[in-house]
Amino acid sequence: MAELRWNPLLSTWTMVAANRQARPHFPKDWCPFCPGSGKVPDTYEVHKYDNDFPALSLAPAEPELMGSGPYQSRPNYGKCEVILYSPDHQATLSTLAVDHVEKLINLLADRYTALASDPQIKYVFQFENRGAEVGVTMPHPHGQIYAYPFVPQKIQIELENCRDYYRQKQCCLICDMNQEETAFAQRIIAENDSFVAYLPFFTDYPYGVFIVSKVHKGNITQFDKGERRDLAAMLKAITGAFDSLFSKLFPYMMCIHQTPVNIKEYQDAGEYYHFHIEFYPPLREAEKIKYYASSEMGAWAACNPMAVEQTAVTLREAYARFVKVKGGHHAFY
């Protein structure tokens, strides 16, 4: 069974995808994303791979249950892609050269453009899950793209709040967040010419970093070569800081938030919505998980067990250790 089902309580769609139950679970002595598997090219640097177990399809079947009353369903139109970071099974963003990560940024920009060319696609969501703690079942370094036929609810709420703020103040909410964080300084983790990374005043997670463009731009395709290289360097630095924090591979969800596509309601979103990357790392200590439990999931009432003004100190120290090991900030370039 594969279809979209409407949630009338929240006014959003739930993807039903029974085929995903068959996904490999940490396969032993085999990886479909490694060269030689027969699934990917024998040589590649970064690579787009159509998901073998997609939640969305460009050729969807009709829903098995059409629904009635407050319930409705629709075909699960869309596209799910896997973005392979490297042929090296052990690589991470922090171990890859900046030149290599820049190629990944270029691929993400190309896929945004390609997927946005389909008028039925309304949102291109690019993300990475890393670590068993967040449900990863295939450890090869990779991210994913879901091209939805709707704007997901969390993005929609952000868009509406950014639009309201813009209408009231004639300026961008996230630009103002950048200004507040830069002025306060204590939650800043790192910055370069084009991007700043900080733990926002309100973040749910003890180490929930945002990476935000300094110049107001709506999506990844709008960055020039210098900005793309700076984004590559920042991704390498922040994920390296995470791994340095507890001297272990640090699990996280990395979510790229950018403007919708092909939707009249948000056709002017570039005026008020601002490209940023949100990290959701579940660790609060080396062996302790910050669970998204009943209050967070059942009521959307987040509770951060640690003040980010304190965790920012330890994450900045981890960032400094990582940069020192790599030979200083300029060694990234």
**For the chain, how are helix, strand and coil distributed in percent, rounded to 5?**
35, 20, 45
140 included as an active-site residue: no
Token pair of 318, please?
């981890």
Q: Which of 142, 257, 274, 276 is an active site residue?
A: 142
Backbone Cα Rg of the chain: 20
CB-side exposure of 140: number of CA atoms within 13 Å?
A: 25
Those residues whose C-beta lies under 8 Å from the C-beta of residue 282, and which sit 6 or more positions away, are 131, 133, 134, 205, 251, 252, 289, 290, 291, 292
State the alpha helices, DSSP H only, in the chain.
98-116, 153-169, 173-184, 225-245, 269-272, 294-299, 308-325
C-beta neighbour count of 19 within 10 angstroms = 13
CA 98 to chain centre: 19
Helix, coil or strand: residue 149: coil
Helix/strand number for the chain, H first, E second: 7, 14
Backbone angles phi, psi at 143, to 5 degrees: -120, -175
Helix, coil or strand: residue 94: coil
How far is 35 from 82, CA to CA, in rounded Å? 15
Residue with tokens 């009231």: 168
**Which residues form the catalytic set?**
142
